[in-house]
Structure 1
Amino acid sequence: MAGTDGKFETLVRIGYFSRAVLYIALGLLALTGASRMREGMDGIFRAVEDLPAGDLLLWVLVVGLVAYALFRLASPLFDIEHNGSDAKGWGKRIGHAGSAVAHLALAWTAFRFATGEPGGGGAGASQAAAGVLSVDFGALALGLLGIAFFIAAVAQAQKGITGSFMRRIAADAPDATRWLGMAGYLARAAVFAVIGWSLVETGFLSQGASNVKTLGEAVASLADTGWAFTLVAAGLLLFGLFSLILARWRIIPDLDPHGRVPSFRS
């Protein structure tokens, strides 16, 4: 079973590396005022594609984002990080399930670019929202999803302010880890709030499916806020650097050879 654990840990670390690449690209595009920012996630993946060995990096992103999504999905299924089964624990586990879905969607977009068929990140979100709106209570579902994003935004801000994320990072991590994480989580809180509001507007205020924002579009929508946009863009870049640290120093749960519930290494 040790070999399986080693493979699991390696995949999760590739996942954190993939998340780092995405957020570094997102932050840099935003800070440099690149026009691709207006393209949402498509612009970010095109920027990755244009890098040296960009095609190879896209495939790394596909594998890494899927691995990270499966890691997050293991939280609601097996409580892999021991959040518990009380209301607070299930809140975290459901949040991890949402993160899994979001990263699977990013992996699909990366796959379309890697295979030469750009998936239209923003259009894909609008089409998915339109599909949800077409069914009974679809608008309600989108509105509730928006509220869930608001709750996630509060959780991200709380992580950044309290530094609770440090509990799952090895003690020998770089000294700057705490501050990089704080800036990154606060920036993500702002972006999650924007995404949440776009979903609330679509679900409860009948703004139309095209109003739903992806990660890249949410950042782009802040472009006219001046210094606030700069702070969010810089924070997302720092979150990418923070994710690089996690790729090396994050404590990854072991898989239990006698059952499905793992435990942390001491």
Structure 2
Amino acid sequence: MLDKSEKFRWLVRLGYFSRAVFYTMLGFIALTNVAQISQGVDGIFEAIEGFPGGTALLWVMALGLLGYALFRFCSPLFDVENEGSDAHGWARRIGHGGSAIGHLVLAWSAYRLASADVSGAGDGAQEAAAGVLSVQLGGLVIGVLGIAFFLAAISQAKKGVSGSFMARIGAGAPEGTRVLGAIGYTARAVVFLVIGWSLVKAGFYSGDAGEVRTLGDAVTSLAGNQIVFQGVALGLLVFGLFSFILARYRIVPDLAPDGRKPRYRA
């Protein structure tokens, strides 16, 4: 039987695989079918559902994206990535928390479509934001989440420039991994900035959940500048390919003996 650490590693790798499928499709659809990308996340998952065995793939992605989100939540909770507890470390850990929330939304969207639960179909992120904004201090929560996305964007950009992500990739990764990662992280930084700004506007200024942008919406909003739009779309496609490499070669921490706090293998 698999021990807890082995199960954890497989769940995280499934998460990276699911992320790879999503971003590859996001970039491909943005480059080939802007009308479908304008439908947001649901449009991307509907395209995946159209593949042979697409519904089964959506179920796998729902589980994988949930696993990836839980892995990212381990960063602010347990500092699984060893970022530290100084201001810089907490900024990165909060950014990971924002990524976790974003991937939870993706997991829910994949599950909803896979289970044919499309009642009240619409933008799930905007519906969730509307619910948060309706409660006391909800605007503050949305605004802080936007700041988390800003921090995540800065982290993505720094990874792309510095290549620091290679420290988490095991030996044997294909040549060109560094270049693919740099392109992909830079494109994601741009998209995260757009999402972060939409959350800050909705939370701190307008109070309008309609301001909130998902990944698909964020890419579509760049269509006014075709050079930027095409560059980001291609970058996201590359990030998807890079994530397939991570699914195989990413160094995943072990769970501690108590089965809770992850730690890196020596």
* TM-score after normalising by structure 2: 0.93
Once the two structures are superposed, residues 36-79 of structure 1 have per-residue CA deviations (whole angstroms, 9 ceiling, x without a partner) of 11100010000000011101100110111111111112222222
* CA-CA distance at 1:86 after TM superposition: 2.3
| Cα separation, 2, equivalents of 1:36 and 1:131 | 26
Say whether residues 1:201 and 2:185 are aligned partners.
Answer: no
| Cα separation, 2, equivalents of 1:120 and 1:212 | 18
* Contact 1:109-1:120 at 8 Å conserved across structures: no
Listed as ranges, the matches of 1:162-177 within 5 Å are 162-177=162-177
Could you tell me which residue of structure 2 aligns to residue 183 of structure 1? 183
Q: Which amino acid in the other structure matches residue 72 of structure 1?
A: R
Please tell me the root mean square deviation across aligned C-alpha atoms, in Å: 1.9
Q: Which amino acid in the other structure matches residue 253 of structure 2?
A: P
Point out where structure 2 has 5 or more consecutive residues left out of the alignment.
none
* Contact 2:96-2:152 at 8 Å conserved across structures: no
* Contact 2:98-2:149 at 8 Å conserved across structures: no
Indicate the larger mover: 26-35 or 140-149. 140-149
| Cα separation, 1, equivalents of 2:105 and 2:87 | 27
Are residues 57 and 259 of structure 1, via their aligned partners in 2, closer, same or farther at CA, if it must alter by over 3 Å? closer
| Cα separation, 2, equivalents of 1:121 and 1:155 | 33
Once the two structures are superposed, residues 134-164 of structure 1 have per-residue CA deviations (whole angstroms, 9 ceiling, x without a partner) of 2233223323322222222111111100111
| Cα separation, 1, equivalents of 2:77 and 2:246 | 23
Alignment partner of 2:175: what SS? coil
Are residues 180 and 118 of structure 1, via their aligned partners in 2, closer, same or farther at CA, if it must alter by over 3 Å? farther
Could you tell me which residue of structure 2 aligns to residue 129 of structure 1? 129
Could you tell me which residue of structure 2 aligns to residue 213 of structure 1? 213
Say whether residues 1:107 and 2:107 are aligned partners.
Answer: yes
Could you tell me which residue of structure 2 aligns to residue 241 of structure 1? 241
Say whether residues 1:54 and 2:54 are aligned partners.
Answer: yes
| Cα separation, 2, equivalents of 1:119 and 1:101 | 22
* Contact 2:105-2:124 at 8 Å conserved across structures: no
Alignment partner of 2:170: what SS? coil
Say whether residues 1:32 and 2:32 are aligned partners.
Answer: yes
* TM-score after normalising by structure 1: 0.93
Are residues 259 and 18 of structure 1, via their aligned partners in 2, closer, same or farther at CA, if it must alter by over 3 Å? closer
Once the two structures are superposed, residues 173-210 of structure 1 have per-residue CA deviations (whole angstroms, 9 ceiling, x without a partner) of 11111011101111001101111121222223316211
| Cα separation, 1, equivalents of 2:119 and 2:103 | 15
Say whether residues 1:67 and 2:67 are aligned partners.
Answer: yes
* Contact 1:23-1:236 at 8 Å conserved across structures: yes
| Cα separation, 2, equivalents of 1:126 and 1:39 | 13
Point out where structure 1 has 5 or more consecutive residues left out of the alignment.
none
* Contact 1:25-1:44 at 8 Å conserved across structures: yes
Indicate the larger mover: 69-78 or 229-238. 69-78
| Cα separation, 2, equivalents of 1:121 and 1:163 | 40
Are residues 72 and 120 of structure 1, via their aligned partners in 2, closer, same or farther at CA, if it must alter by over 3 Å? farther
Indicate the larger mover: 228-237 or 30-39. 30-39
Are residues 143 and 122 of structure 1, via their aligned partners in 2, closer, same or farther at CA, if it must alter by over 3 Å? farther
| Cα separation, 1, equivalents of 2:21 and 2:12 | 14
Say whether residues 1:82 and 2:91 are aligned partners.
Answer: no
* Contact 1:153-1:190 at 8 Å conserved across structures: yes
Q: Which amino acid in the other structure matches residue 183 of structure 1?
A: I
Could you tell me which residue of structure 2 aligns to residue 225 of structure 1? 225
Size of the aligned set, in residue pairs, is 266
Once the two structures are superposed, residues 120-145 of structure 1 have per-residue CA deviations (whole angstroms, 9 ceiling, x without a partner) of 78522222222222223322332332
Could you tell me which residue of structure 1 aligns to residue 9 of structure 2? 9
| Cα separation, 2, equivalents of 1:262 and 1:211 | 36
| Cα separation, 2, equivalents of 1:187 and 1:120 | 32
| Cα separation, 2, equivalents of 1:163 and 1:24 | 21
Q: Which amino acid in the other structure matches residue 116 of structure 2?
A: G
Q: Which amino acid in the other structure matches residue 24 of structure 1?
A: T
Alignment partner of 2:251: what SS? coil
Alignment partner of 1:224: what SS? coil
Alignment partner of 2:254: what SS? coil
Indicate the larger mover: 132-141 or 151-160. 132-141
